[in-house]
Amino acid sequence: MFRKRVFEIIEKAQEGDIPSAIFDIAIIVLITLNIVAVTAASFDTFANAHSVLLYRFEVISIIIFSTEYLLRLWTARDKFPNSKIPYLRFIFSASAIIDLAAILPFYLPFVTGFDLRFLRILRLLRMFRIFKLGRYSEAMTVIGKVLKKEKEKLITTIILTIIMMFVASTIMYYVENPAQPDVFKNIIETTWWSVATFTTIWLGDIYPITIPGKICGGIISLLGIMLIALPSGIICSGFMDEIYKEKKICPHCGKELG
């Protein structure tokens, strides 16, 4: 019973569960303060003047986040009651991986043999704490469901986009290389042009100057707009379906279902 009550408290609060609501708010506030602390630490003046304060806050945060992770691991049997391997299911779940990534940067430096530059990169993982907010945000939960539901379509779209970018890079290389050998040096370097073109980012120093190159560039730009718009359409459609399902709204008339 005690473990089940702990599980109820650390999970997203149900209506009327005050201890669980207080826990949720406390974690959200702590995550927000951590984001502020990480941002403030990027300013050398602030970091040098308040290094002790920032370190103490980091230690307190790690203790709380680590305790939360261990409690979630302990109550995995309540989260996955029908699973034969609830602890493994929890450890390899997306939310648990995010939780672990949020605390790892603190513990890993204590392991000898790491290059100092590598340890500096590991500090970037602290920003994973922002993703912990997804557990307490209804909107982010819905987006997560949509991405999981539409993952096959999104993967297909991404693969198609990569193929089209490679084809575009190959075409532009053979068209523009004779006129601009220093700009379109090879297909790999030309890929940067196709990425910028597909995503509609303007690159002032890389552009076609030949008539065939300009024609191909225009066609590729139009294809890029259509391809980049595909994932947005898939996500928006899935998002609306999820909203209709959550609120029990008829997708045809827009009225709530009884």
Question: Are 131 and 157 within one domain?
Answer: no
> φ, ψ for residue 101 (rounded to 5)?
-65, -25
pLDDT digits (tens, 9 = 90+) for 186-216: 888 888 888 887 776 666 677 788 898 889 8
> Is there a domain that residue 258 lies in?
no
Cα atoms in the Cβ-side hemisphere of radius 13 Å centred on 107? 10
Cα atoms in the Cβ-side hemisphere of radius 13 Å centred on 25? 6
- Record the tokens describing residue 33, joined without a space: 């303060």
- Record the tokens describing residue 189, joined without a space: 């370097």
Confidence at residue 218, expressed as pLDDT on a 0 to 100 scale: 86
> Is there a domain that residue 93 lies in?
yes
The residue-averaged pLDDT of 59-75 equals: 91
**pLDDT averaged over every residue in the chain:** 79
Question: Are 161 and 132 within one domain?
Answer: no
> Is there a domain that residue 256 lies in?
no
Kindly write down the DSSP assignment for every residue of 200-241, as one continuous string: T---TT----SHHHHHHHHHHHHHHHHHHHHHHHHHHHHHHH
Confidence at residue 74, expressed as pLDDT on a 0 to 100 scale: 93
Question: Are 161 and 128 within one domain?
Answer: no
CATH of the domain at 60: 1.20.120.350
Sheet strands (E) in the chain: none
pLDDT digits (tens, 9 = 90+) for 112-133: 555 544 545 555 555 666 666 6
Number of domains the chain is built from: 2
Burial letters 70-107, b for 16+ CB under 10 A, else e? eebbebbeebbeeeeebeeebeeeeebebbbbbbebbe
pLDDT digits (tens, 9 = 90+) for 86-112: 899 999 987 888 888 878 877 877 765
> Is there a domain that residue 23 lies in?
yes
Rg (CA), the chain: 25
